[in-house]
Amino acid sequence: MIRLLALVPGGIGDQILFFPTLDSLKLQYPQAKIDVVVEPRAAGAYRVCQVANKVWNFDFKANNSLAEWANLIGNIREQEYDAVLSLGKSRSVGFLLWLTGIPKRVSYAGKGTIFLTNPVALDLDQYAAQMYHDLLKGLGLNLSCPPMKLNLLKTDLDWCLQEQQRLGVAKSGYILIHGGSSQLARLKGIDKIYPAASWVEVIQDLGAKLPNLPVVLINGPEDREFVAAVNQALPHILTTSPSDIGKLAAIIAAANLMLCTDSAPMHLGVAVGTSLLALFGPTDPAKLLPSDRAQIKYVRSANAQPISTISPTQILAKLWQT
């Protein structure tokens, strides 16, 4: 039996963007056991992935001791993997792959190339899912990148139906809004939260033009400040608090439309095929959204300014654009 390993540092969005690569691996090697090593903050993404056999947790960004690195390497060596893929291109990543003793080591060409058996050229000027999928060239696979897809569990779909009934939107449908950002992005000084006051203007216009289509806010653990600010202006706004990625994906899949910032819920929306309008600041939409989906729209701030500089008028103009 073929045993494959993928090291996928990053957040939930990075994992979802990597799913097409895992899908292609499983298609080419149906009997293979495919494991992944991810940061603890992103492990929940694999609730909606049916390809990964085992999910190893390791915080790549933490100040890990030599003992912790040795434990990771030892655990990997015990599995006797045939090949490993990694998103990193640094010397330390290459050295880590070499220490695992895995015979076929695939990553992007860079400072760590000397430690790789099959380096792959890194093309940053493309959709991230395609960029990750390029790693398969290191295994001799020249395949088209498939669209992202998720495996939604019946328990999550059942929760979604009950949640729609609780909100009173089961028959009317609804517009979903995610206005938050990850705490890690904030710590890095990356502001992906669109101002609550501006969202209020957008919601009020939606209510005037689509009075029979309620707006629902996603209220996750990191969204409470944003939701509270909107609720202060719109006391009767509906909110939903999915407890995991599966339930979040299900509530997004059932929405008529989602408005969001550049975030993990945006990638979930792409994967489940929901019509969406995404807001971008300095980041490039071409690298984070597929270019072949008519139901996907975006608004980007001028001159790579912060996302807060986008006006509600710009959002509404794009939304009502035919």
Model pLDDT, residue 187 = 54
- At 59 the three-state DSSP class reads coil
Residues 183-196 have pLDDT tens digits of 555 555 556 789 99
- At 243 the three-state DSSP class reads coil
Confidence of residue 89 (pLDDT cuts 50, 70, 90): confident
Q: Is the pLDDT of residue 62 over 90?
A: no
CB 261 within 8 A of CB 192: yes
Model pLDDT, residue 192 = 73
Model pLDDT, residue 186 = 56
| Rounded Cα distance, 114 and 233, in Å | 58
Chain CA centroid to CA 76, Å: 26
Q: Looking at 15-19, 98-102, 142-146, 179-183, which range is the least confident one? A: 179-183
CATH superfamily to which 154-319 belongs? Glycogen Phosphorylase B; (3.40.50.2000)
Model pLDDT, residue 112 = 83
Segments making up each domain of the chain, as ranges: 3-139, 154-319
Q: Is the pLDDT of residue 56 over 80?
A: yes
Q: Which of 302, 293, 300, 306 is nearest to 279 (CA)?
A: 300
Model pLDDT, residue 201 = 97
| Rounded Cα distance, 231 and 216, in Å | 11
Model pLDDT, residue 293 = 83
Q: What average pLDDT does the structure give for the chain?
A: 93
218-228 mean pLDDT: 90
| Rounded Cα distance, 27 and 15, in Å | 18
Residues 263-296 have pLDDT tens digits of 999 999 999 999 999 999 999 999 999 988 889 9
Same CATH fold assignment for domains 3-139 and 154-319: yes
Model pLDDT, residue 322 = 63
165-173 mean pLDDT: 97
Confidence of residue 207 (pLDDT cuts 50, 70, 90): very high
Q: Is the pLDDT of residue 243 over 80?
A: yes
Model pLDDT, residue 35 = 97
Confidence of residue 167 (pLDDT cuts 50, 70, 90): very high
Which pTM was predicted?
Answer: 0.93
Q: Looking up tokens 């090593």, which residue turns up?
A: 37
Confidence of residue 222 (pLDDT cuts 50, 70, 90): confident
CB 177 within 8 A of CB 259: yes
Number of H-type helices and E-type strands within the chain: 12, 12
| CATH fold group of domain 3-139 | Rossmann fold (3.40.50)
Neighbours of 236 (CB within 10 A): 6
